[in-house]
């Protein structure tokens, strides 16, 4: 006898992202009519990393398609920290710039904490500035990191309310793991943050109704770890010989989970759509016009 094969709902990140981009574009039109100017997003890329360049280009295209002004700054890999901080100061002072994103990782001779701290928190559309991290942690209005925000939107679309659910976040980065845990906590989940030193990762994943995988290890989390029916959000973007794969072993997990995001086509497109959303939110707050519901 063969075991019955069940199959999870595939969460269509591309469709969620397209819908959000559409709502942002409508909000941008309203903003531009009210203020007489477009929201502006400045993206700063240091060096020539080809994967980063591709990503920056797709952000630029999505920004323009939403009706916003896309400003790109490409700096040589040997730019010193002072030079980069000077550019950030110029962008902070530029009234046409509502959002500033400095592409990470930065070359090792630059202190990325210092660069992030130099960005005006009101323009910090990545939500990485300590002021925004603190505002998120204390329940104040903040600019929220794009990847976790996109994950929460998809989780709410699956579950409606998240209150009382057991969530595990595997990974503790400032970019994904920590803000993801804060957002889940704000939704009244019971949150576990697991990481490389967690003693029984299997047990932590196994009891979770929601699994967010953000470790950066290709296909690390297998179907056998997942509680049947759980929702699995795969943040991993790993380039391997088999192409782009997540941190979750999709082929086994899809047979156990209730819902799961694919890679590609899951969290990635939502990250970019949330960047546009954050830029419109930042522009609206800076201009003192009503913030759209997004």
User: Annotated binding residues for NADP(+), as ranges?
Assistant: 171-173, 237
244 forms part of the interface with ligand GUE (CB under 6 A): yes
Contacts of ligand GUE in 176-215 (CB under 6 A): none
Contacts of ligand GUE in 146-175 (CB under 6 A): 146
Least spacing, CB of residue 286 vs ligand GUE, in Å: 20
Candidates 70, 268, 282, 283; binder of ligand GUE (CB under 6 A) is 268
273 forms part of the interface with ligand GUE (CB under 6 A): no
79 forms part of the interface with ligand GUE (CB under 6 A): no
Candidates 79, 153, 155, 263; binder of ligand GUE (CB under 6 A) is 263
269 forms part of the interface with ligand GUE (CB under 6 A): yes
Find the radius of gyration of the CA atoms of the chain: 19
Options 70-78, 85-93, 207-215, 266-274: segment touching ligand GUE (CB under 6 A): 266-274
- Tell me the site size for ligand GUE, rule CB under 6 A: 16
Contacts of ligand GUE in 91-150 (CB under 6 A): 101-104, 126, 146
Hey, which residues are catalytic here? 59, 103, 126
In the bound state with ligand GUE, the residue whose beta carbon lies nearer, of 39 and 268, is 268
* HEC letters along the chain: CCCCCCCCEECCHHHHHHHHHHHHHHHHHHHHHHHCCCCEEEEEEECCCHHHHHHHHHHHHHHHHCCCEEEEEEECCCCCHHHHHHHHHHHHHCCCCCEEEECCCCCCCCCHHHHHHHCCHHHCCCCCCHHHHHHHHHCCCCCCCHHHHHHHHHHHHHHCCCCCCEEEEECCCCCCHHHHHHHHHHCCCEEEEECCCCCCHHHHHHCCCEEEECCCCCCCECHHHCCCCCEEEECCCEEECCEEECCECHHHHCCCCCEECCCCCCHHHHHHHHHHHHHHHHHHHHHCCCCCCC
216 forms part of the interface with ligand GUE (CB under 6 A): no
Least spacing, CB of residue 228 vs ligand GUE, in Å: 26
Residues in contact with ligand GUE by the rule CB under 6 A: 55, 101-104, 126, 146, 237, 244, 263-265, 268-269, 271-272
């Amino acid at each position: 006898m063969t075991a019955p094969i069940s199959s999870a709902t595939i969460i269509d990140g591309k469709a969620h992202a397209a819908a959000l981009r559409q709502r942002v574009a409508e909000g941008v039109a309203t903003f531009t009519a009210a203020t007489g100017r477009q929201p502006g997003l400045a993206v700063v890329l240091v060096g020539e990393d080809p994967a980063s360049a591709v990503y920056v280009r797709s952000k630029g295209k999505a920004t323009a398609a939403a009706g916003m002004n896309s400003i790109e700054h490409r700096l040589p890999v040997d730019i010193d920290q002072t030079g980069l901080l000077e550019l950030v100061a110029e962008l902070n002072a530029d009234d046409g710039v509502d959002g500033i994103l400095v592409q990470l990782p930065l070359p090792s001779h630059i202190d990325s904490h210092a660069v992030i701290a130099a960005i005006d928190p009101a323009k910090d559309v990545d939500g990485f500035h300590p002021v925004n991290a603190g505002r998120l942690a204390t329940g104040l209005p903040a600019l929220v990191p794009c990847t976790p925000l996109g994950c929460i939107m998809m989780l709410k679309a699956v579950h409606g309310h998240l209150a009382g659910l057991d969530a595990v976040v595997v990974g503790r980065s400032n970019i994904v793991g920590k803000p993801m845990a804060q957002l889940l906590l704000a939704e009244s989940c019971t949150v576990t943050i697991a990481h490389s030193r967690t003693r029984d990762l299997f047990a932590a994943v196994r009891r979770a109704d929601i699994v967010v995988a953000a470790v950066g290890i290709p296909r690390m989390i297998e179907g056998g770890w997942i509680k049947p029916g759980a929702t699995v959000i795969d943040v991993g973007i790993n380039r391997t010989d088999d192409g782009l794969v997540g941190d979750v072993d999709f082929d086994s997990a899809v047979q156990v989970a209730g819902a799961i995001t694919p890679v590609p086509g899951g969290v990635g497109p939502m990250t970019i759509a949330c960047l546009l959303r954050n830029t419109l939110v930042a522009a609206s707050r800076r201009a003192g016009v009503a913030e759209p519901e997004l």
